[in-house]
């Protein structure tokens, strides 16, 4: 209604929303089209944010200043382009972004980008000079690694020197990488009577590669389109309300949908950008490319055609743009021109299909422990639900159904306890957090939701069935957030589970609604269809509270048993986020705790602490945590070959002795990378066994479930997997 009044008052002339003005601009007139679309977005976003955000903030000078600061951090995070005088010039806009949003005249991002382009051109000249310079890689120099401590450069000379140090550090790092590759090739070279490359040659190659990479980066920056500047602008306006409110342009909305439903439609290949080419990193098991068997890892994709259409050269194309061309609806054909490792060029046609991202789905197992007991294990990577299958996501694949099926398999075996692994689970569908909590209690409230008008709603479990009766340990870390915190908090408050892991979870106690902004267009009463899709607004509309009345916002869920965490010194969590909503409390809900809490904290805490003190992996993890604290204090790094190599070797050794470090299955560990072929059930069993055997958090959880008051650790001796391809 307010939109119609807005138009009726004639203010539409200010926004340039007239039919005549917009009719003259089409998508082919890119700059004008983007400008008018930005005017439309500024109005729709302003209305949605101020009216429906939980905090009811106004888009005023204060919010403008917050958004301005966020914008600068995004556009030049390392302060390696703008000079201080540039920032002083742009400061004029720090209290004008609210005025721009009201008037629909979005100027700041275009001015900021134009100024940045001039600096990019300047830096490009620096890089050209560096390409003919000799770098003394043995000279000790220092480089500040903490963006917060870096001031903006005052002069061109200072900026050039900052880039010189940065390039030198990159060359040092690349030289060490080249050395490692050269060591591997030495034996082959000797067999072929080929002399290995000298250090001088390796360093020259490293410099050439670094110069080339930086030129490509700068070239991409010069090619950025105006719509990217508008997208960033609207994103920081939204994020100034709180860190989880965000404007999502259409392409980002598509990625969000893929994450939520755990599937996409495409060829089933993981791609990466390398030296200006799009390279196949991995073929996803079970996908279209896997079944077709012609496209393989390390292939370079040169051109993409839709079916029998004309091919598009994707060399030097941004990876996001290339992915948009390769993805497509199930049943459609895409034709790829690829360069094979042997240099041959091949044309491959693939019929796109649904690609299931198995790493997002539930995994489960029954573990045989050294105390002769058996324990259930369920890993929940995310709370996924395919909302596109049906308006409410009731018929698509979802995490609740998968957990139910896993529990049914686990219950076929007599188990002495269950581990629910929520490490690195960043959340997902709220409905599934409530439903899964309900699997372990009889009935009762699970979580309380408060809206922006201070009305509280209680979400209940009405299912009287309990799907697992035994003792439960829930594993969390600093990356367990949102829906995973609802589940962990509910099981803790009902005294249904022991919470084990990092000192606290992430602390995201807010609920977001995804608003399709195209749905706002009819309210304008004008023909705006040409500007679709507008994207989506992820908007914080509610806060959730435990049944005790305490929020998980900011503080998170506190573990009952705290274990060493390599990232405990890092600024990970809601409390470190800018513009985060505060912690508070409401009235508690009425609920009945589980009949018997099977854990004695007074007994288990000191015994666990003693076990941890004697555990080699936890000792190394604690050492890694202490190293992290030191690195946060001492952020200057020495950039010569000897110093960087010593630091790299030291960190490599540290990582080798503490592979997991609180993250769960370490995604950075090569041994734990997803396979590039479809595993047999036996291979999957072997892989899962080895990972569980080596995970100190799993082993300590088993000891806690076993009530091991003797201080002896429990180990995994075998496992019968129930891999959740359900």
Per-residue pLDDT reduced to its tens digit, 196-205:
778 888 889 9
Mean pLDDT over residues 20-30, rounded?
A: 40
Q: What pLDDT band is residue 78 in, cutting at 50, 70 and 90?
A: very high
CB atoms within 10 A of CB 324: 14
Q: Average the pLDDT over each of 331-340, 341-350, 693-702 and give the range with the smallest value.
A: 341-350
CA distance 413 to 358: 25
* pLDDT at residue 567, as a whole number: 84
Does 548 score more than 50 pLDDT? yes
CA distance 431 to 459: 9
Does 33 score more than 80 pLDDT? no
CB 421 within 8 A of CB 443: no
Q: Which residue has the tokens 């992430």?
A: 506
Spell out the domains of the chain, with CATH numbers in brackets.
Answer: 60-240 (no CATH), 263-356 (2.30.42.10), 362-513+538-721 (3.90.226.10)
* pLDDT at residue 592, as a whole number: 96
Q: What pLDDT band is residue 398 in, cutting at 50, 70 and 90?
A: very high
Q: Which residue has the tokens 């699997």?
A: 439
Q: Average the pLDDT over each of 166-180, 220-234, 448-462, 488-502 and give the range with the smallest value.
A: 166-180
CA distance 78 to 91: 18
What tokens does 312 get?
């598009």
Q: What pLDDT band is residue 581 in, cutting at 50, 70 and 90?
A: very high
pLDDT tens for 230-247 read: 999 999 999 999 999 999
* pLDDT at residue 252, as a whole number: 64
Q: What pLDDT band is residue 448 in, cutting at 50, 70 and 90?
A: very high
Q: What pLDDT band is residue 726 in, cutting at 50, 70 and 90?
A: very low
* pLDDT at residue 16, as a whole number: 32
Contacts of 164 (CB under 8 A, 6+ apart): 126, 130
Does 484 score more than 90 pLDDT? yes
CB 612 within 8 A of CB 570: no
Mean pLDDT over residues 161-177, rounded?
A: 92
Mean pLDDT over residues 570-576, rounded?
A: 91
Mean pLDDT of the chain: 84
Does 157 score more than 70 pLDDT? yes
Q: Per-residue DSSP letters for 526-566?
A: S--GGG----EEEEEEEEEE-TTSBB-TTT-PBPSEE---T
Q: Average the pLDDT over each of 81-85, 265-269, 412-416 and give the range with the smallest value.
A: 265-269
Does 15 score more than 50 pLDDT? no
Rounded to 5 degrees, φ, ψ at 702 are -65, -40
Q: What pLDDT band is residue 115 in, cutting at 50, 70 and 90?
A: very high
Q: Which residue has the tokens 């800018």?
A: 578
Q: What is the 8-class DSSP label of residue 479?
A: T
Rounded to 10 deg, the angle between the 226-239 and 61-75 helix axes is 130
* pLDDT at residue 722, as a whole number: 46
pLDDT tens for 218-234 read: 998 998 888 899 999 99
Mean pLDDT over residues 634-648, rounded?
A: 91
Does 314 score more than 90 pLDDT? no
Does 23 score more than 50 pLDDT? no
Predicted model pTM: 0.80
* pLDDT at residue 723, as a whole number: 40
CA distance 402 to 146: 43
Mean pLDDT over residues 324-338, rounded?
A: 89
Does 423 score more than 80 pLDDT? yes
pLDDT tens for 450-482 read: 998 889 999 999 999 999 999 999 999 999 999
Q: Which residue has the tokens 């698509």?
A: 396
**Alpha helices, DSSP H, located in 223-352:** 226-239, 250-261, 288-292, 319-326
Q: Average the pLDDT over each of 4-18, 225-239, 267-281, 311-325 and give the range with the smallest value.
A: 4-18
Q: What pLDDT band is residue 110 in, cutting at 50, 70 and 90?
A: very high
Q: Which residue has the tokens 């089933």?
A: 268
Q: Which residue has the tokens 């994207």?
A: 535
Look at 269 and 261; give whichever has higher pLDDT.
269
Percent of the chain with pLDDT strictly greater than 70: 81
Q: What pLDDT band is residue 162 in, cutting at 50, 70 and 90?
A: very high
Does 339 score more than 60 pLDDT? yes
* pLDDT at residue 524, as a whole number: 59
Please give the C-alpha separations between residue 639 and each of 203, 370, 438, 654, in angstroms, as whole numbers.
Answer: 15, 48, 55, 21
Q: What pLDDT band is residue 163 in, cutting at 50, 70 and 90?
A: very high
pLDDT tens for 698-712 read: 999 999 998 755 556
Reading phi first (left if > 0) and then psi (alpha if -120 to 50, else beta), residue 297 is in beta
Look at 200 and 444; give whichever has higher pLDDT.
444
The 3-state DSSP class for residue 720 equals: strand
Give the number of residues written for the chain. 726
CA atoms within 13 A on the CB side of 271: 26
Mean pLDDT over residues 511-536, rounded?
A: 79
H or E element in which residue 109 lies: helix 108-131
Rounded to 10 deg, the angle between the 641-657 and 156-191 helix axes is 70
Long-range contacts of 369-372 (CB under 8 A, 24+ apart): 369/702, 369/706, 369/714, 369/715, 369/716, 369/717, 370/714, 370/715, 370/716, 370/717, 371/702, 371/706, 371/708, 371/714
Does 285 score more than 90 pLDDT? no
Mean pLDDT over residues 596-604, rounded?
A: 93
**Chain-centre distance for alpha carbon 319:** 17
Q: What pLDDT band is residue 106 in, cutting at 50, 70 and 90?
A: very high
Does 681 score more than 80 pLDDT? no
Q: What is the 8-class DSSP label of residue 524?
A: G
Look at 659 and 687; give whichever has higher pLDDT.
687
* pLDDT at residue 372, as a whole number: 85
Look at 40 and 714; give whichever has higher pLDDT.
40
Rounded to 5 degrees, φ, ψ at 345 are -100, 135
Mean pLDDT over residues 634-661, rounded?
A: 79
Does 286 score more than 80 pLDDT? no
CB 560 within 8 A of CB 500: yes
Q: Where are the beta strands (DSSP E) in 400-523?
A: 418-421, 444-451, 456-461, 472-476, 498-501, 510-516
Mean pLDDT over residues 620-648, rounded?
A: 89
CA distance 633 to 412: 52
* Omega within 30 of 0 (cis) for the link into 319: no
């Amino acid at each position: 209604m307010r939109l119609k009044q807005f138009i009726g008052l004639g203010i539409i002339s200010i926004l340039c929303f007239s039919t005549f003005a917009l009719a003259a601009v089409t998508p082919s007139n890119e700059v004008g089209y983007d400008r008018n679309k930005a005017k439309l977005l500024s109005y729709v976003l302003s209305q949605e944010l101020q009216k429906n955000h939980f905090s009811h903030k106004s888009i005023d000078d204060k919010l403008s200043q917050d958004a301005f600061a966020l914008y600068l951090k995004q556009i030049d995070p390392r302060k390696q382009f703008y000079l201080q005088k540039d920032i002083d010039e742009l400061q004029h806009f720090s209290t004008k972004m609210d005025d721009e949003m009201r008037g629909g005249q979005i100027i700041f991002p275009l001015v900021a980008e134009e100024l940045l382009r001039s600096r990019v051109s300047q830096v490009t000249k620096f890089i050209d000079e560096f390409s003919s310079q000799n770098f003394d890689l043995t000279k000790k120099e220092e480089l500040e690694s903490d963006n917060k401590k870096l001031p903006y450069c005052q002069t061109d000379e200072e900026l050039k020197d900052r880039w010189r140090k940065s390039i030198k550090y990159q060359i040092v790092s690349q030289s060490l990488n080249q050395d490692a590759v050269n060591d591997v090739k030495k034996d082959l070279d000797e067999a072929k009577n080929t002399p290995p490359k000298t250090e001088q040659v390796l360093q020259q190659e490293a410099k050439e590669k670094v110069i080339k990479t930086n030129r490509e980066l700068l070239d991409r920056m010069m090619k950025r389109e105006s719509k990217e500047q508008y997208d960033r602008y609207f994103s920081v306006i939204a994020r100034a309300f709180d860190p989880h409110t965000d404007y999502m342009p259409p392409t980002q909305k598509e990625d969000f949908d893929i994450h939520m439903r755990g599937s996409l439609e495409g060829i089933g290949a993981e791609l990466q950008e390398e030296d200006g080419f799009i390279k196949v990193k991995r073929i996803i098991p079970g996908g279209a490319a896997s079944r077709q068997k012609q496209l393989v890892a390390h292939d370079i994709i040169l051109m993409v055609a839709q079916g029998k259409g004309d091919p598009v050269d994707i060399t030097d194309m941004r990876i996001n743009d290339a992915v948009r061309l390769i993805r497509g609806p199930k049943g459609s054909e895409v034709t790829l021109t690829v360069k094979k490792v042997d240099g041959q060029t091949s044309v491959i046609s693939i019929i796109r299909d649904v690609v299931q991202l198995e790493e997002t789905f539930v995994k489960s197992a029954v573990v045989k422990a050294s105390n002769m007991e058996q324990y259930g294990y369920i890993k929940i990577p995310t709370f996924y639900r395919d909302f596109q299958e049906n308006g409410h996501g009731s018929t698509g694949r979802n995490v609740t159904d998968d957990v139910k099926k896993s529990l049914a398999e686990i219950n076929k075996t007599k188990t002495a306890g269950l581990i629910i692994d929520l490490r690195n689970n960043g959340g997902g569908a709220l409905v599934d957090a409530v439903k899964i909590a309900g699997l372990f209690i009889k009935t009762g409230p699970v979580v309380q939701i408060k809206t922006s008008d201070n009305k509280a709603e209680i979400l209940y479990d009405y299912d009287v069935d309990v799907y697992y009766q035994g003792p439960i340990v829930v594993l969390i870390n600093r990356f367990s957030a949102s829906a995973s915190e609802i589940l962990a908090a509910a099981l803790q408050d009902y005294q249904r589970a022991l919470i084990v892991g990092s000192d606290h979870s992430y602390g995201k106690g807010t609920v977001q609604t995804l608003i399709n902004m195209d749905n706002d267009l009819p309210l304008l009463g004008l023909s705006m269809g040409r500007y679709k899709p507008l994207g989506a607004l992820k908007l914080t509309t509610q806060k959730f509270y435990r049944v005790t009345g305490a929020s998980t916002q900011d503080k998170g869920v506190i573990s009952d048993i705290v274990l060493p965490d390599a990232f405990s010194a890092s600024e990970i969590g809601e409390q470190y986020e800018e513009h985060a909503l505060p912690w508070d409390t409401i009235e508690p809900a009425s609920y009945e705790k589980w009949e018997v809490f099977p854990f004695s904290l007074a007994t288990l805490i000191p015994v666990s602490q003693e076990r941890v003190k004697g555990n080699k992996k936890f000792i190394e993890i604690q050492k890694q945590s202490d190293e992290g604290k030191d690195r946060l204090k001492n952020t200057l790094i020495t950039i010569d070959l000897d110093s960087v190599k010593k630091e790299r070797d030291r960190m490599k050794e540290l990582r080798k002795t503490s592979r997991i470090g609180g993250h769960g299955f370490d995604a950075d560990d090569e041994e734990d990378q997803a396979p590039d072929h479809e595993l047999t059930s036996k291979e999957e069993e072997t892989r899962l066994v080895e990972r569980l055997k080596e995970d100190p958090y799993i082993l300590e959880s088993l000891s806690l479930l076993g009530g091991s008051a003797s201080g002896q650790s429990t180990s995994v001796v075998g496992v019968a997997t129930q891999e959740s391809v359900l």
